[in-house]
Structure 1
Amino acid sequence: MRRVVQFSTGNVGRHSLRAIIGRPDLELVGVHASGPDKIGRDAAQLCGLTEPTGVLATGDLDALLALKPDCVVYTALGETRPMEAIEQMSAILSAGINVVGTSMVWLVTPRQADDWLRGPLEQACAAGDSSLYVNGIDPGYSGDTAVHAALSLVTRAESVTIKEIFDYGNYDDYEYTGAAMGFGTTPEDDLPLAFQPGVVTSMFGGLVRNLADQLGVELDDVCQRFEPWYTPQRIECTMMTVEPGQLAGVRFAAEGVRGGTPVITVEHTTRLTPAAAPDWEYPPAEMDGVHMVIVEGEPRIELMTHLSHPSLDVTDAGCLSTAARAVNAIDWVCDAPAGLIGAEDIPPTAMIRGLMW
């Protein structure tokens, strides 16, 4: 049985925490929380369970390291505080504790990550003889598992497009996702942070370059594009209230270009409620969000992933699947050689063990 610490209990962390508690092959030994409203509370309370675990949340990282867990599930938001996240991850790894996580999305393709990020984490892994694996559903599954399945079905591929088409209206994350994408801003405001020059290629270009390397394709460039949609009417949703003239939809992509033509594209269409961007592509009827892989080739392949849950909306189900991509890898990562791990390093069957009991 693997001894596990959960680090953070937010949109993704509460799902991974619940999964750890429920898994018979994992033992929850600690929980990290940063908010005073969570510190001191039982782990069960923080993820919607009724039976106490006896494990209380703490903000003391050193106390959690002293528990000597086999693995830490790191789901704390790191993209807005990357240096602090690197410091925390490095402390865990240097202590000889493996990390699986969903934060710092650049690490989904660790071989494509820049030196400022990869360097200190590799050093920490070497110092602690530990391993680090980061994944999710997108970035993650759609660009490293679904796309591989689709490409295995063609004899020749002309182009590959990986799409997320989602309604984020019910996603309660304005602080990061909403603000970064600029929802609620006007055309007169500064360009949203997520769409400043080079940001899309920084966040998603690694997926494009990684797939190009796996296909043996030499790209001329990786470019980004961004298209805003401003609402003519008031839109109210969980994320926020958007007034007329404000941003309520975005469409953006990282494109790997060869010979002047995009051949590998990672594209997102994100709207707040179905009322936004009515001329843009929607998911199939009665679906709020899908991940798609489209391969133009011999034959043409269109592979779609749709998430649903009896009590969660599609964005929360996406957070649950994101958590699964980390939790399901714990056992393999704990036995892996020291270093940074990509999804391509893990045998697919290793991600599905221990799920049925």
Structure 2
Amino acid sequence: MRRVVQFSTGNVGQHSLKAIIGRPDLELVGVHAASPKKVGRDAAELCGLTEPTGIIATDDVDALIALAPDCVVYTAQAETRPMEAVEQLVKLLSAGINVVGSSMVWLVTPSQADDWLTGPLEKACAQGNSSLYVNGIDPGYSGDTEVHSALSLVTRAESILVQEIFDYANYDDYEFTGKSMGFGLTADEEQPMLFLPGVLTTMWGGPVRNLADQLGIELDEVRQRIEPWYTDQKIECKLCTVEPGGMAAVKFAVEGVYNGEPVITMEHITRLTAASAPDWEFPPDGKPGVHRVVVEGEPRVELNTHVSDPVLDVTEAGCVSTAARVVNVIDWVCDAPTGLIGVEDIPQAAVIRGLIW
């Protein structure tokens, strides 16, 4: 039985919290909540369950460390506050607590992350004899586990395309996703954070370079491309309202170039309602979203992953899968060698232990 603390209860954290409570092999011992509105509330209430757990949310990190958990599930928004997040992670790891998380997406491929990030975390792991693993659905699954499966089916690969095609209309995260992608902005306004020079290659460049290393090729360069789509009509949805002239869809990608041609491409097509960018590619078979890998080679392989839920919107179902990518590996990480862990370090059979009960 692993003693676990859930750190944040947002779009992903509420689902990992619910999973931890329901798992017979995990014991929830603490919950961190940054919002004053959540502090003091029972964990069950914060993830939509009705039976109280007796575990009350706190914003006191030291009190959570004092619980001596085996692992912390760290899903707090970190990309907009990286130094603060690193400080929190260092504190946990130095105290001998293992961490799995969906935040700090640069760490999905720790071997490709910059020293400013890996240096203090590796030092903290060594000090606490602890381990850190970060993954998700994208970056994460589609660019590692799914693409590895596709590549295992070809004798020769010519190019690799990894895609996320989703309608974000019902995704309730304007403060980060909406603003960072620039939904609602006009062409004359300042570029959003995600599309500033170098940001995309920083966030998705690691998986591209990692895949190239695994394939044994040296890329000429890793570059980004961005194509916004502006609406001529008002679009209203849960994420935000877009006035005529505002951006309602965006296509962006990070490309690994080899011999002058893009051979590894990680592309997102993100729209608000089906009325946006009607000429762009949609998910196959009328599905609301897809994570897809296409390998052109011998033979051509295409894998399409659809996540769904009878109650949740497809984007929220994706958040459940993101939570699964870290909750399912807690046991293995707790027994892992000290340091930063990449998905390639983990036997795939280890991430499905204990899922049926």
Give the TM bin, normalised by the shorter chain: over 0.9
Name the counterpart of 1:175. Answer: 175
Name the counterpart of 2:16. Answer: 16
For 2:331 and 2:304, how far apart are their aligned partners in 1?
A: 28
Report the RMSD for the aligned CA atoms in angstroms: 0.5
Name the counterpart of 1:118. Answer: 118
| Partner AA of 2:59 in structure 1 | G
For 1:286 and 1:237, how far apart are their aligned partners in 2?
A: 20
Q: Runs of 5+ in structure 1 lacking a partner?
A: none
For 1:318 and 1:309, how far apart are their aligned partners in 2?
A: 9
Moved more, 207-216 or 281-290: 281-290
* 1:65-108 deviation per Cα after TM superposition (whole angstroms, max 9, x unaligned): 00000000000000000000000000000000000000000000
For 1:247 and 1:221, how far apart are their aligned partners in 2?
A: 29
Post-superposition offset of 1:17: 0.1
Percent of residue pairs bearing the same amino acid type: 74
TM-score normalised according to structure 2 size: 1.00
* 1:7-38 deviation per Cα after TM superposition (whole angstroms, max 9, x unaligned): 00000000000000000000000000011111
- Between the two proteins, the alignment pairs up a number of residues equal to 357
Name the counterpart of 2:271. Answer: 271
Name the counterpart of 2:103. Answer: 103
For 2:233 and 2:331, how far apart are their aligned partners in 1?
A: 50
Name the counterpart of 1:288. Answer: 288
| Partner AA of 1:158 in structure 2 | E
Name the counterpart of 1:340. Answer: 340
| Partner AA of 2:83 in structure 1 | M
Post-superposition offset of 1:117: 0.7
Q: Secondary structure at the match of 2:284?
A: coil
Name the counterpart of 1:76. Answer: 76
Name the counterpart of 1:238. Answer: 238
Moved over 2 A (4+): none
Post-superposition offset of 1:286: 2.8
Q: Secondary structure at the match of 2:264?
A: strand
For 1:12 and 1:149, how far apart are their aligned partners in 2?
A: 25
Post-superposition offset of 1:238: 0.4
| Partner AA of 1:249 in structure 2 | A
For 1:128 and 1:329, how far apart are their aligned partners in 2?
A: 20
Name the counterpart of 2:250. Answer: 250
* 1:169-206 deviation per Cα after TM superposition (whole angstroms, max 9, x unaligned): 10000000100000010010011210111111000000
* 1:236-292 deviation per Cα after TM superposition (whole angstroms, max 9, x unaligned): 100000000000001000000011100001000000111111110000233111000
The residue correspondences of 1:298-337 to structure 2 (distance < 5 A) are 298-337=298-337
Name the counterpart of 1:144. Answer: 144
* 1:312-344 deviation per Cα after TM superposition (whole angstroms, max 9, x unaligned): 011000000000001001000000011000011
For 1:113 and 1:273, how far apart are their aligned partners in 2?
A: 35
Please tell me whether residue 261 in structure 1 is matched to residue 282 in structure 2: no
| Partner AA of 2:27 in structure 1 | E
Q: Secondary structure at the match of 2:285?
A: coil
For 1:326 and 1:90, how far apart are their aligned partners in 2?
A: 19
Name the counterpart of 2:155. Answer: 155
Q: Secondary structure at the match of 1:319?
A: helix
* 1:40-62 deviation per Cα after TM superposition (whole angstroms, max 9, x unaligned): 11000000000110000000000
| Partner AA of 2:194 in structure 1 | A
Name the counterpart of 2:206. Answer: 206
* 1:127-170 deviation per Cα after TM superposition (whole angstroms, max 9, x unaligned): 10000000000000001100000000000000001000000110
| Partner AA of 2:71 in structure 1 | C
Name the counterpart of 2:226. Answer: 226
For 2:112 and 2:66, how far apart are their aligned partners in 1?
A: 33
For 1:189 and 1:82, how far apart are their aligned partners in 2?
A: 26
For 2:38 and 2:191, how far apart are their aligned partners in 1?
A: 35
For 1:163 and 1:119, how far apart are their aligned partners in 2?
A: 31
Q: Secondary structure at the match of 2:37?
A: coil
For 1:181 and 1:40, how far apart are their aligned partners in 2?
A: 33
Q: Secondary structure at the match of 2:269?
A: strand
Q: Secondary structure at the match of 1:17?
A: helix
Post-superposition offset of 1:216: 0.5
For 1:183 and 1:354, how far apart are their aligned partners in 2?
A: 40
Q: Secondary structure at the match of 1:296?
A: strand
Q: Runs of 5+ in structure 2 lacking a partner?
A: none
